[in-house]
Amino acid sequence: MRDSRVKDSREGTATPGPRSRTRPGTPFSSWLPSAPTGNRISENLPDAIPRSVDNESQPYRISDEQRSRLNASIESFRDILDPNFKFPSRHALTRYLTSYFEGFHSHMPFLHTPTWRIFEHSLELILGLAAVGAQYCFEHRMSERLFYAGKAILMERLAHESDKFGPKTGSSLSMPQRRESRPILARDWGPWEPIETVRALIALMGYATWEPKVSLMQEAFGLQGLLAQVLREVGLHEEDGRQPPADQTTPQAAWHAWAQQESARRAKLIAFSFMHTHSIAYNVYPVLRSNEVGLRLPCSTKEWKASNAVQWQIARRETDKQQLFFQDALSLLLRNTDGTAPLDPIPTPLGNYILLHGLLQRIYIVRDLSLPVMDHSASLPSEEVDKLERGLRSWTAGWQQAPESSLDPNNENGPIPFTSSSLLGLAYVRIYLHLGPYRLLETRDPIRIAKAIYRSPAVERSGGVITALLYTAHMLSIPVRLGVDRVARSQAFFWSVRHSLSGLECAVLLSKWLFSLTEASGTTPLSGKSFYPPELLLLERSSTLYLFFLSSISSLKSSLSALYLSARQQTPFAKRSEDTC
C-alpha cells in the first residue's frame, strides 16, 4: 500500500493536473521527467512525447514548427543580413518575447495581447520585439544582432512597398548599393500593412534609444525621422466613416476589428510620445507636433484588457462616453480657468500620459520661441506660466480621480500612472528650469554631463518655484523610501527611463535652489523672515534627502576604495587589467 502511494505521488509530480498553471512562457511551464524504474531510464522522456500546449496560458511560447517557419523567412533575406547572424533558438525566442511583453509592453502598450498571433505580424516587428526582449534579458550581443537584422528587413520592406508611401519616405531611405554579383533572393514578405512599419519602428527605436553605444543612439535618431514621416503618410486622424465588413457582425469578429483599430490608434499615439521622449532626453526640437495629432485618446483599461469578446462587450457597455480627441483635451486643459476641474470623461492612464507629453512639448516650444538672443535662461512669460500651471492642476485632478491611478509601480493596471507622476514633476521643473542645453546626455560621458549641468543657470527664489520644488522633493523621496539600491538593481521592469530623466532634473532644481539659499546667506544672514512660508518645509524635507544621499555617497566611496585595494593586491590580475585598458 505504501509503495502504491509513493508511485501515485511521483506520477502526480511528473504529470500536470488539469488545473495546473504556471507563468506563461517560462521554463517553469515544463514538467519534471518521470523517475527511472530500477536502473533503466524511462523511454517516455518529455522531449520524446510532446505534451499538449495550452496556447492561452502560454501565448508567447515558440514551438519548433514556428521557429522553423520564422527561420525560413529570415533566410529569404540572407543577402541583406550580416553573414554571421544566426536566428535564436525557440527557447531563446520564447524568453525574448515573454520579456518584451512582461517588461517594455507594460510601459508602451500598443499591441493587443489577447488577440496576439505571431504569424499575423511582420518579420521586422518580431525581430524588433525580440531585440528589446533580449535587452531585458541582459543578452546585449544578441539584442544588437536582432536589432540590425530587423532594421535591414524594415528598410528592404519600405523599398518594396514604396508605392504605399510618398516620395518623402523614399528619400529618407539610405539603402546600401548591392553588388551586381550578389543575387536577390525570393523574399518571404509575410503579412504586412502600413501600421506594421510604425510598430516595428517603435520597437527598434525602443531598443536603440537607451543603449550606451553612441552609434546605436545615432541609429535611433535616424529611425525617429523616418517614423515621423511614415506616421504622416499613414495618417494621424480618425477614420470614423469606415464601416466594418458584413462578416464582422458576430461579437468575435467585431472584437477583432475593434482591436485592430484601437491598437493602430495606440501605436500612433505612443509613437508621438516616444519621439517626444527623444526631445526631452536629448534637447532636440520635436519632430512631430501636437497640432498634427488628430486622434482620440486611448480607450478604457477594461476594454483594452478584456480577454474575450464577451468581456469586451461588457466593458463597452460600462463606458458612458467616448474619449476626447487629443487636441481637444489638450486645449481644454490649457483653457481651464478652474485648475481643479478635470476633463470629462476622465482620460485613461495612457491618455493622461499622452496629454502630459503635449504639455511638456508646449513648454519646450514656447520657451524656444521666447528665447532672448543672449539669455539662455529663457524664462517663460508670466501669462504662459499661469496657463500651464492651471493645465497641470486640472491634469492632476483627473489623474487623482481615475480609478487606475496609483503611485505603486506594481499597480495591477500597469506602471503608466506611476510614470506619469514623474513626468508631472518634470513639467513643473521645466517651467522654472531651462536645463536642455546643459545636459549633454547624448555624449554618454558622465564627466562631460556633470560639468555641463554645473554650468547651467541659477534658479531664482520666488513664490512660483515653490510648487515645482514640492513636487521635486516628493518625487525624490519615493526611491529614498523604497531604497535607492533596491530601485537601481531590481526595479527595471517597473521604473522606466522617464523616471531617471525626471529625477535628474528634479535633483538639479533642488540643488540649484539650495545653492541660491547659501548665496543669499553669504550677503545677508538668513532668518525666519527671509523665507517664503513653504520654504521652511522644503528645507526640512531637503535636509533629510541630503543626509540620506550623503551617506549613500560615502558608503559608495568606501566600497569603491575597498574594491580598488583588493584588486591592487592581486598583482597579476591588476597588471592584465592595465594591459588591456
Per-domain boundaries in the chain? 1-14+22-52, 59-175+183-235, 285-405, 409-416+434-581
Are 293 and 269 contacting, i.e. CB atoms less than 8 angstroms apart?
yes
Question: Pick from 285, 274, 462: which is nearest to 371 by CA?
Answer: 285
pLDDT above 60: residue 15: no
Distance separating alpha carbons of residues 266 and 414, to the nearest angstrom = 16
**176 or 577: which leads in pLDDT:** 176
Residue the block writes with cell 591592487: 568
Q: How many CA atoms lie within 13 A of 439 on its CB side?
A: 21
The per-residue pLDDT for 557 is 43
Which residues are CB-contacts of 211 (< 8 A; sequence separation ≥ 6)?
135, 144, 217
Average pLDDT taken over every residue of the chain? 80
- Which segment of 31-35, 91-95, 111-115, 494-498 scores lowest on mean pLDDT? 31-35
Q: Decide if pLDDT at 375 tops 70.
A: no
Q: What pTM value is reported for the model?
A: 0.83
pLDDT category of residue 30 using cuts at 50, 70 and 90: low
Residue recorded with cell 520579456: 99
Kindly tell me if the per-residue pLDDT of 570 is higher than 50: no
Q: Which of 271, 123, 103, 248 is nearest to 187 (CA)?
A: 123
Mapped onto helix, strand or coil, the DSSP state of residue 295 is coil
Average of pLDDT values for 75-86?
A: 94
Cα distances (Å, whole numbers) of residue 38 to 30, 35, 42, 62, 67: 24, 9, 10, 35, 37
> Would you place residue 43 in the very low, low, confident or very high pLDDT band (cuts 50, 70, 90)?
low
Q: Is the pLDDT of residue 455 over 50?
A: yes
Calculate mean pLDDT across residues 252-270.
96
pLDDT class for 472, splitting at 50, 70, 90?
confident
The mean pLDDT of 468-487, rounded to a whole number, is 82
Beta-carbon contacts of residue 546 (< 8 Å; ≥ 6 apart): 514
pLDDT band at 41 (very low <50, low <70, confident <90, very high): low
When mean pLDDT is compared over 43-52, 184-193, 238-247, 367-376, the highest value belongs to: 184-193
Output the pLDDT for position 368. Answer: 87
pLDDT at 66 over 50: yes
Lowest-confidence pick of 206-210, 282-286, 371-375, 432-436: 371-375
Among 135-139, 205-209, 316-320, 573-577, the minimum mean pLDDT is found in: 573-577
Q: Is the pLDDT of residue 13 over 80?
A: no
Stronger pLDDT, 451 or 59, i.e. the higher one: 451
Among residues 500, 512, 503, 379, the alpha carbon closest in space to that of 456 is found at 512
Residue 83's alpha-carbon distances to 72, 129, 208, 242, in angstroms, are 15, 21, 21, 45
Inform me whether the pLDDT recorded for 410 exceeds 80: no
Question: What is the pLDDT at residue 85?
Answer: 96
Q: Is pLDDT at 550 greater than 60 in this prediction?
A: no
Q: Torsion-angle region of residue 50: left (phi > 0), alpha (psi -120 to 50) or beta?
A: beta
CA 543 to chain centre: 33
C-alpha dist (Å) from residue 226 to 34, 215, 232: 54, 17, 10
**Three state DSSP letters for 368-410:** HHCCCCCCCCCCCCHHHHHHHHHHHHHHHHHHHHCCCCCCCCC
* Cα–Cα distance, 305 to 113 (Å, whole number): 8
Helices (H), 235-348: 251-282, 301-305, 309-318, 326-335
Query: Mean pLDDT, to the nearest integer, of 277-284?
Result: 94
Residue 228 near residue 285 (C-beta atoms within 8 A): no
Name the percent of the chain lying above pLDDT 70: 72
Residue-level pLDDT at 565: 41
What number is the average pLDDT over the span 556-579?
Answer: 40
pLDDT at 571: 39
As beta bridge partners, residue 40 has 37
Instruction: List, as own/partner pairs, every contact residues 135-143 make where C-beta atoms lie below 8 angstroms and the sequence separation is at least 24, other chains included.
Output: 135/207, 135/211, 136/99, 136/100, 136/103, 136/104, 136/492, 136/493, 137/95, 137/96, 137/99, 142/88, 142/92, 143/207
